Amino acid sequence: MTSLDGIAVKVESATGNVEPLLHEIRHALKRVADGKEGTVIDLRSLPLAPGEEERIEAFLGEGEVRAELDTFGATVFQETSYAGVWLVTHRNMKQAVLTRFIEVTRTPELLKSQRADIERGISRLEDALAASSKVERSRRESVAGQEIKDSG
């Protein structure tokens, strides 16, 4: 035996939870289509056999949108091949998975810019513009001063 792969263990287990979960997603997606609220499913709250999470992922497939948030480790938002069904994986700074959610919604909440961040952005933008105009004013004054000096 040269590696762990050489151990003759072939797990054939199945909890029977995959199909009900996929139906739950179908019902949640219908609610979103009807303009009702979205659903978030925490994959860690379900007993799943080895390989079943991968089965869910493979069934849902990958869609058109993939976005990454880089804060306290990466968070990947992957829209599945079913529009409105997102697989959201939060990782920590060591790349270990913190949580995995299936979000059934038009846009996952965390992808949207947050009001507090926007307000902080406005404040930063105003400060940056004020600093920039101060620099520009001082540059112009310096140029004007130089011109007076040269003409004199």
Chain contacts with other proteins (rule: CB under 8 A): 8-16, 40-42, 44-50, 52, 69, 71-73, 75, 90, 92-94, 96-99, 101, 109-110, 113-117, 120
Alpha-carbon distance of 27 to 20, in angstroms, equals 11
Sheet strand arrangement including 74-79: 39-42, 97-104, 85-91, 74-79, 66-70
Alpha-carbon distance of 102 to 33, in angstroms, equals 17
Alpha-carbon distance of 23 to 122, in angstroms, equals 44
- Closer residue to other proteins (CB): 9 or 148: 9
- Closer residue to other proteins (CB): 121 or 145: 121
- To other proteins, the closest distance from the beta carbon of 1 in angstroms equals 14
What are residue 85's DSSP bridge partners?
104
- To other proteins, the closest distance from the beta carbon of 130 in angstroms equals 20
- Closer residue to other proteins (CB): 50 or 152: 50
Specify whether the CB–CB gap between 47 and 17 falls below 8 A.
yes
- To other proteins, the closest distance from the beta carbon of 35 in angstroms equals 18
- To other proteins, the closest distance from the beta carbon of 30 in angstroms equals 18
